[in-house]
Structure 1
Amino acid sequence: MTKPELKPVIDVQHVSKIYDNGTSGLSDINLQVKPGEFVVIVGLSGAGKSTLMRSLNRLHQVTEGHVLIDGRSITEAKGRNLRQLRRDVAMIFQNFNLVKQSTVLRNVLAGRLGYYPTWQSSLGLFKEADKQRAYKALERVNLLDKVYQRVDQLSGGQQQRVAVARAFVQDPKIVLADEPTASLDPKTAHLVMNDLKSMNQELGKTVVANLHSVALAKEYATRIIGLRAGRIVYDESIQNVTDADLADIYNGDSSVGERQ
């Protein structure tokens, strides 16, 4: 008996993004991501990777098309509906996006903000159960001993792992990671990628990551997507990916073909 086809948890439909200065960031992107995939997007700087990533949780407003998260349009969502949809999508940034003057614990608890009224979260009135979530997340990333330390006293790699812990406590369906290893040394980069792999394989989270490193992409992805000049030019399961294919994405060889 065949298994039923999984519905996409991310469904990008004919999405284009044109910036105010007339620059085209994305051009007619069509993309579906199934639950439990670990998708890595690769391409040259300026290819549109970050623009696509930020369109998925509406940090960028798209010019045309729609983005559906678990069947619901985040493109058109407003107010409470947008807030609820964003609870399902955690974001890990290249520059960590932490409150550097605050403690590790407060930064990790920020992952629960979508579950509280603004007045309650602004006063730091988090439930004990959520504090326990934060401790457990910090234990996962081996930073439990830093729980009350200020973030600006940590190394770059430790700060990125605080950001990963924040994503753990958010308990999203989807984790977006925008160049999460770009400023890290190779050893720390693997630690962060292992954390993402744990989210994917142990907790069943869908992960979409932009990476500069082809080696990391090959090691961790279940599927690789290539972007060039705002268009998808490559989309294959990892078992079908070759070194020649990856080289073509970066070299601009038209033989890769546009596969959407």
Structure 2
Amino acid sequence: MIEFQNVSKTYPNGTKGLKDINVTINPGEFVVIVGLSGAGKSTFLRSINRLHEVTEGEIFVGGTSITKANGKQLRRMRRDIGMIFQQFNLVKRTTVINNVLSGRVGYHSTFRTMLGIYPKADTELALQSLERVNLVEKAYTRSDQLSGGQQQRVSIARTLAQEAKVILADEPVASLDPLTTTQVMDDLKKINQELGITTIVNLHFIDIARQYATRIIGLNAGEIVFDGPVEEATDQKLAEIYGQKLETTEEEAKEVPYVATS
């Protein structure tokens, strides 16, 4: 369980990234965070593993405050939280399996991981993780030889090898074409359903959110303006999230990341 208690984030320039957030995400949920650029989606997501420090309040992961954790406790908590980035964050010049094995770094000494020495069990786990995203045949291919979609699926395999209990995905399909987007989102949904891994995804596209989420949280200017199951995310509610009327002009439509139903 992930719980935000009175969480706010103010940046040095005075910008409010989050405003008094109180929300609980239950184990096994597939939650999609939506909102315009600058609404606070990335700040919300990255505060869970403390890539962003909050200004006020506390965040609890599995009943323990990650906000107050430090040293070994913080490293252990982060080990349980996998992160998937928009730009994949792979070491392009090394093999796919080496990138997946980097998910095991938190389980071994710095000396071993610097030398790339991993137990046989870790290699087997990495191969199993690649098999789950249908890339085991690419295990010994250099990562820079893969397509963007394949690279993103390698990053998913890395979180599986990490044995994460929570997966955070920050705009994981923003740079992908529609077919590849479907493949990546299908993988995330399948992992969520089959392994019960709590999954929280930031998305810019409402139609994708509606297709995959069990719950949608809408942010606007750092505040939660909607929180509910997909079936309650009506066009009217979505218009409130984005702060714009549903019927848009051609120019306005370029700024609204959802497709209105006819």
TM-score (ref. length: structure 2)? 0.91
CA distance in 1, matches of 2:134, 2:239: 36
* Per-residue Cα deviation, 1:121-157 (whole angstroms, up to 9, x for no partner): 1111111111111111111111112111111121111
Match of 2:188 in 1: 196
2:235 matches 1:243: yes
Q: Using the aligned pairs only, state the percent identity.
A: 59
The alpha-carbon deviation at position 252 of structure 1 amounts to 4.7
Contact 2:9 2:19 in 1 (8 A): yes
Q: Quote the Cα distance in structure 2 between the aligned partners of 1:243 and 1:109.
A: 43
AA at the equivalent of 2:138: K
The equivalent position to 1:168 in structure 2, one of 156, 160, 169, is 160
Partners in 1 of 2:204 and 2:14 — Cα distance? 26
2: CA distance, partners of 1:180 / 1:217? 12
What are the Cα deviations for residues 40-68 of structure 1, in whole angstroms up to 9, with x where unaligned?
00000000000111101000111111111
**1:251 positional shift:** 2.6
* 1:51 and 2:43 matched: yes
Preserved CA contact (<8 Å) 1:108 1:162:
yes
Letter of the aligned partner of 1:199 in structure 2? I
CA drift of 1:226 comes to: 0.3
| Contact 1:27-1:231 at 8 Å conserved across structures | yes
* 1:136 maps to 2:128: yes
4+ residue runs over 3 A deviation: none
- Unmatched 5+ stretches in structure 2: 246-262
Confirm or deny: 8 A CA contact 1:228 1:252 kept in the other structure.
no
- Choose which of 170, 177, 185 in structure 2 pairs with 1:178: 170
Instruction: State TM-score, norm by structure 1.
Output: 0.92
Q: For residues 50-199 of structure 1, what are the structure 2 equivalents within 5 Å?
A: 50-199=42-191
Q: Partners in 2 of 1:20 and 1:116 — Cα distance?
A: 36
SS of the residue corresponding to residue 202 of structure 1 reads helix
Within a 5 Å distance, the mapping from 1:199-218 to structure 2 comes to 199-218=191-210
Give per-residue Cα distances to partners, 1:16-59, cap 9 Å, x unaligned.
Answer: 11112221111111110000110000000000000111101000
* 26 and 252 in structure 1: CA distance in 2 versus 1, 3 angstrom threshold: farther
Question: Would the aligned equivalents of 2:225 and 2:240 in 1 still touch at CA under 8 Å?
Answer: no
Q: Is the 8 A contact 1:102 1:151 kept in 2?
A: yes
SS in 1 for 2:196: coil
Q: Which moved more, 1:17-26 or 1:201-210?
A: 17-26
How far apart are the structure 2 equivalents of 1:240 and 1:191? 26
* Mapped partners of 1:243, 1:163: distance in 2: 33
Q: Is the 8 A contact 1:103 1:150 kept in 2?
A: yes
3-state SS, counterpart of residue 68 of structure 1 = strand
Deviations 1:145-182 (A, max 9, x none): 21111111211111101101101111111100100000
- Structure 1 alignment gaps of length 5 or more: 1-8, 254-260
Decide which moves more: 158-167 or 143-152. 143-152
1:233 and 2:225 correspond? yes
CA contact (8 A) 1:55 1:61 kept: yes
Cα shift readout 1:215-236 (whole Å, capped 9, x = no counterpart): 1100110000000001101001
How far off its partner does 1:71 sit? 0.5
Provide the alpha-carbon RMSD of the alignment.
1.1
Partner-residue secondary structure (3-state), 2:28:
coil
Aligned mates of 1:252, 1:46 — CA distance in 2:
15
Which aligned pairs between 1:14-53 and structure 2 lie closer than 5 A? 14-53=6-45
Q: Which deviations, in whole Å up to 9, do the C-alpha atoms of 1:54-109 show, x marking residues without a partner?
A: 10100011111111100011111111100100011101001111111111111101
Alpha-carbon separation, structure 1, partners of 2:239 and 2:147: 33
